[in-house]
Structure 1
Amino acid sequence: MSTGVYAAITPQGVALLDARHGRGRWRFLDPVGARLWLEILGGAAPADAVDTLTAHWQRQGADAGQVRTDLTALAADLESTGLLLPVDRSARRAPPCVRFAPEARAGMLQRLAGHAGLGAALVLLHFLPVRVAFTAARTVTRFPGRTATVRDAEAALAAVRRAARWWPGRVACLEEALAAHFAAALTGHRVTWAIGARFAPHGAHAWIEAAGCVIGQDETDRVWPYMPALKVERPH
């Protein structure tokens, strides 16, 4: 069972999504901090992990005293915020295929599902703790239906984007992707809802996937991959 903390692990560092409270919060660790976090999650006591990494960086010519001070402070901070507990690291792979502007058009049923999905996503994400949205997303994976094709997923996303024109506020990627996940389920299709992060530059993102592809990625944001920290999909 998840502890409510999810990890996106990359060669550039680790991004931790803490979804236990409120709307959730991201914490980005650089490669040094990520190595400390991985050592402790691997079973090392925080003090032992600090000793190991201090010795490593001293051999590289770093000031051992400063390294120890910085790592000790980081370990204490991670422990106080509950980020040294076991985390969900099941979403390990970024999808190999990225599709940009959706090509499929939404029919009438899909448009209705798009409005319903967007309404549900906005209520869940704006008025309730984000963990409730995660629970709702997992619940709809149990709806009857079949695995979505790329065209099915693009139609669901197109319907949500059409519905978003009626919303007076901004619909960000998190709301849009969750809404598309719901809209697809309401029309008998199953997509994957994913939340992840990237480094250089730091950023968090949400999207849907179908047939091994990211669906509807923004044309203006071609820096990929975002490494998933969380994927919600029907268990195989």
Structure 2
Amino acid sequence: MTQMVHAPHRPPWRLRLPAHLAMALAVAVRLVPGDRRRFRLRLRLASSVRPLPAADLAHVQDVYRAVVACQPTWWRGQIDCKERSLATVLATALTGRRCHLVLGARALPAAFHAWVATGDGTAVGDDEAGGHDHPWTPVHTTP
């Protein structure tokens, strides 16, 4: 049976503006030449929000949904979990709170994934790419 995927609802302006700005920055990071440079830049940007107070689960979920709803239609490439997760961290920071960027992997089927976590470690966005069937193991979490 085919499952219908509906377009997400438009988030409120208080989340839409930070989501658009953060997604533009995350896509711009993707244009940086060199895999190592992009990786370091993503980690540095995600770690720069450290001084902010931690966000609660409901706020991080709202920001994540806003980021997914605000993915640019003008971008001709694929927007991966790395961009969505970094944009969620940055958009949460633009609202005055912080969450953590988590990079993880799994053995079978072998894959890598990025998601965000709240201050208490609750994961948001880890259910993409079959996260329920084959759980992800966190490898690195930004402070």
- Report deviation, 1:193: 0.6
Aligned partner (choices 53, 57, 67) of residue 160 of structure 1: 67
Query: Is the contact made by 1:125 and 1:133 (CA closer than 8 Å) also made in structure 2?
Result: no
Give the root-mean-square deviation of aligned CA atoms.
2.2
Look up the match of 1:223.
133
Larger Rg: 1
Change (3 A) 1:193 1:220: closer
Letter in 1 for 2:66: A
- Report deviation, 1:167: 4.2
Matches within 5 A, 1:8-27: none
Where does the alignment leave 5 or more consecutive residues of structure 2 unmatched?
Answer: 1-9
Look up the match of 2:7.
none
Change (3 A) 1:200 1:150: same
SS in 2 for 1:208: strand
Look up the match of 1:135.
44
Letter in 2 for 1:126: L
Look up the match of 1:10.
none
Structure (1 or 2) with the greater strand fraction? 1
Change (3 A) 1:215 1:167: farther
Where does the alignment leave 5 or more consecutive residues of structure 1 unmatched?
Answer: 1-104
1:163 and 1:127 mapped to 2: Cα distance? Answer: 22
Letter in 1 for 2:17: L
1:134 and 1:125 mapped to 2: Cα distance? Answer: 13
Deviations 1:149-197 (A, max 9, x none): 1110011111111111534332110110010010001101111110011
Query: Is the contact made by 1:194 and 1:228 (CA closer than 8 Å) also made in structure 2?
Result: yes
1:148 and 1:230 mapped to 2: Cα distance? Answer: 19
TM-score in terms of structure 2 length: 0.79
Change (3 A) 1:167 1:192: farther
Aligned partner (choices 174, 178, 186) of residue 94 of structure 2: 186
Change (3 A) 1:139 1:199: same
Matches within 5 A, 1:102-121: 106-121=11-26
Query: Is the contact made by 2:114 and 2:126 (CA closer than 8 Å) also made in structure 1?
Result: no
SS in 2 for 1:190: coil
Number of residue pairs matched by the alignment: 129
